[in-house]
């Protein structure tokens, strides 16, 4: 095809996709082309703006490595991650809601027994977390794999520290026969997503802040049930209504109760103040 112009280029590109053998790929790329071309026409995109967009995406790629996933941050801050999560994890009423995965999950976190301290040296106010994993009919889910991870009191995850090969404030444990789980960690605090890169520059240019409300990440899997990826958010956090990644759900907000020094729920004598968090999870049956 020759002599294509602004009125004929879209159809020409779509025609080139006709021979694609992967029908789902063809559907996705066809829609992507249509929407990208429509976006350019709607905004009357200039060459300078197109070049700026290319530079931005290039910078996102350059800063991404095994410890920092800037593309996930971009998806999160544009609300795309939450949209995809919401569409793919519709659940019956009564099930614990899913929310964004985030960029700081890692495989092969250490395995702990119930009652252990998963903080493993991470700095923060002690916190004792407990609850029950159930199915939608109220049945306890025994042996559910519970992966938990969070930031420390400085607002950093273990993987954000240079030359740190020790997992802190993250771990794996399994629910007991009655579905209960309990472990020790630290109190969640609000923190900014990494904003020293292109996504941070984008937020600044748009007049947006990079802060997330305090939360604790959970991923729970069990045979016969759908995987649950979610957060528990700290009640009364100032950023609950302006989460930089749009991940807050009212049903996932809970109180971190403060206690003076004394006996903790596991019988430990605490010489400093501590907090407790109780949160139950309800899993949806796998279809």
Task: Read off the pLDDT of residues 27-40 as tens digits, 9 standing for 90 and up.
Answer: 999 999 999 999 99
The secondary structure element, H or E, covering residue 36 is helix 23-43
Clarify whether residues 141 and 70 are in a common domain: no
Clarify whether residues 70 and 89 are in a common domain: no
The secondary structure element, H or E, covering residue 185 is strand 180-186
136 in Cβ contact with 95 (< 8 Å): yes
Q: How many domains does the chain have?
A: 2
Domain with residue 221: its CATH number is: 2.60.130.10
For 198, list phi and psi in degrees, rounded to 5: -60, -35
Give the pLDDT band of residue 91 (cuts 50, 70, 90).
very high
Give the pLDDT band of residue 103 (cuts 50, 70, 90).
confident
Clarify whether residues 48 and 101 are in a common domain: no
In the chain, what percentage of residues exceed pLDDT 90?
A: 91
Clarify whether residues 224 and 275 are in a common domain: yes
Task: Read off the pLDDT of residues 267-281 as tens digits, 9 standing for 90 and up.
Answer: 989 999 999 999 999
Question: What is the value of pTM for the model shown?
Answer: 0.90
Which pLDDT value is given to residue 99?
95
Which pLDDT value is given to residue 253?
98
Question: Does the pLDDT value for residue 89 go beyond 70?
Answer: yes
Sign of CA dihedral 205, 156, 98, 35: positive
The secondary structure element, H or E, covering residue 38 is helix 23-43
Instruction: Confirm whether 1 is domain-assigned.
Output: no
Clarify whether residues 56 and 165 are in a common domain: no
In the chain, what percentage of residues exceed pLDDT 70?
A: 100
Clarify whether residues 156 and 255 are in a common domain: yes
Question: Does the pLDDT value for residue 164 go beyond 80?
Answer: no
- Residues with Cβ within 8 Å of 211's Cβ and at least 6 positions away in sequence, in order, are 190, 191, 192, 193, 239, 242, 243, 244
Task: Read off the pLDDT of residues 229-253 as tens digits, 9 standing for 90 and up.
Answer: 999 999 999 999 999 999 999 999 9
> What is the C-alpha to C-alpha distance for residues 182 and 176, in angstroms, rounded to an integer?
9
Domain hosting residue 111, numbered range? 82-283
Instruction: Confirm whether 136 is domain-assigned.
Output: yes
Task: Read off the pLDDT of residues 38-64 as tens digits, 9 standing for 90 and up.
Answer: 999 999 999 999 999 999 999 999 999
Clarify whether residues 253 and 170 are in a common domain: yes
Which pLDDT value is given to residue 68?
86
Q: Residues 154-182: what's their mean pLDDT? A: 92
Which pLDDT value is given to residue 22?
97
Clarify whether residues 93 and 38 are in a common domain: no
What rounded mean pLDDT belongs to the chain? 95
Question: Does the pLDDT value for residue 1 go beyond 70?
Answer: no
């Amino acid at each position: 095809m020759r002599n294509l112009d602004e009125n004929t280029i879209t159809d020409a590109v779509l025609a080139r996709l006709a021979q694609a053998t992967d029908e789902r790929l063809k559907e996705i790329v066809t829609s992507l082309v249509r929407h990208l071309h429509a976006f350019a026409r709607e905004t009357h995109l200039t060459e300078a703006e197109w070049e700026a967009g290319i530079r931005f995406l290039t910078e996102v790629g350059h800063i991404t490595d095994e410890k920092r996933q800037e593309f996930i941050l971009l998806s999160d801050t544009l609300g795309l991650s939450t949209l995809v999560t919401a569409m793919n994890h519709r659940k019956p009423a009564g099930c614990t809601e899913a929310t964004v995965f985030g960029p700081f999950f890692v495989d092969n976190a250490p395995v702990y027994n119930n009652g252990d301290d998963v903080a493993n040296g991470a700095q923060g106010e002690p916190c004792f977390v407990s609850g029950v994993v159930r199915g939608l009919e109220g049945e306890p889910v025994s042996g559910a794999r519970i992966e938990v991870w969070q930031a420390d009191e400085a607002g950093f995850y273990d993987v954000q520290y240079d030359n740190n090969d020790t997992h802190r404030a993250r771990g794996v444990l399994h629910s007991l026969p009655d579905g209960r789980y309990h472990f020790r960690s630290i109190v969640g605090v609000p923190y900014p997503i990494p904003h020293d890169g292109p996504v941070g520059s984008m937020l600044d240019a748009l007049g947006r802040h990079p802060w997330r409300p305090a939360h604790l990440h959970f991923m729970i899997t069990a045979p016969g049930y759908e995987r649950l990826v979610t957060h528990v958010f700290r009640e009364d956090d100032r950023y609950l209504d302006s989460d930089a990644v749009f991940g807050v759900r009212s049903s996932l907000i809970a109180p971190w109760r403060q206690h003076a020094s004394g006996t903790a729920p596991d019988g430990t004598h605490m010489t400093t103040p501590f907090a407790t968090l109780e949160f139950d999870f309800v899993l949806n049956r796998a279809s």
